[in-house]
Amino acid sequence: MKVVVTGSKGQLGTKLKELSLQYKNYEFLFVDIEEIDLSSKSQIGKLFENKIDLVINCAAYTAVDKAEDDFKNAELINSLAPAYIAEKCQQNNAKFIHISTDYVFDGLSGTPYKEGSQTNPQSVYGKTKLDGEIKVLSNNPEAIIIRTSWLYSEHGSNFVKTILRLAKEKDELRIVSDQQGSPTYAGDLAETIMLIVSKFSDKKEWHPGIYHYSNSGICSWYEFAVEIINISGDKIPIIPVASNEFPSKVKRPAYSVLDKSKIISVFNFNILDWKTSLKQMMQNRL
């Protein structure tokens, strides 16, 4: 089976590449902007010149603040490109897995968001990602969309690595305590995706639709930072502050917890607690 992974140099793409070494019976093609410009339909089309069985689209325009002044590029990468990939997959009888975000919601809920909860994105990033979801399912009703939140890993730029760096540079850390969510270790999400892929490859099981995935448990950014520092062994004061202490072009969701019951039920697997996965990720860094 031939599997194409776009956005291969991002956090999730990198973890999928590491994991691919365990799947020697699959042929993987990992592409990033150097190989395929996703703003070009002709370049996307070239991917399908040879037989492809499945595409995992990890590519995204994730610079949330920058997107407010760069709608055109955010739309190209988050909406138009996945829509066209979905269409090409449909035409070529290939399966499609697309990664989306908790930012499709407004963050005003007090209970975990289900897949069918009302969407109401508050940013260009969120709006283009939601538009991408709509277009993907319109062009390819057999697609799988996985929304995730607070992604981190050993690679790239993320909250965990930022906290570890700042702990070496600062005398204290001031961290937002009025936003709640569930961290997602990219390694766990990569394993979940490959479980879905292997069920299709081995048993021809395929369950299209929208799913939510993050690690289990809920925390604030402040609580997340405290756990990072505790595991690292660093000794630095961490002060909880309100989000308005950090002015931003984008209002971050105050509550972005995703309900994972659907993906657990359909694919029959367990989800690790965020503290367990955080500890594993930080051990991997050593």
Catalytic residue IDs? 125
- Tell me the C-alpha to C-alpha distance, in Å, between residue 32 and each of 44, 141, 172, 263: 11, 25, 37, 28
Dist. CA 120–CA 18, nearest whole Å: 35
The answer to whether the CB of 158 falls within 8 A of the CB of 282 is: no
Residue with tokens 């190989």: 35
Radius of gyration of the chain from its Cα atoms, rounded to whole angstroms = 19
- Tell me the C-alpha to C-alpha distance, in Å, between residue 258 and each of 18, 80, 164, 173, 228: 26, 25, 26, 27, 22
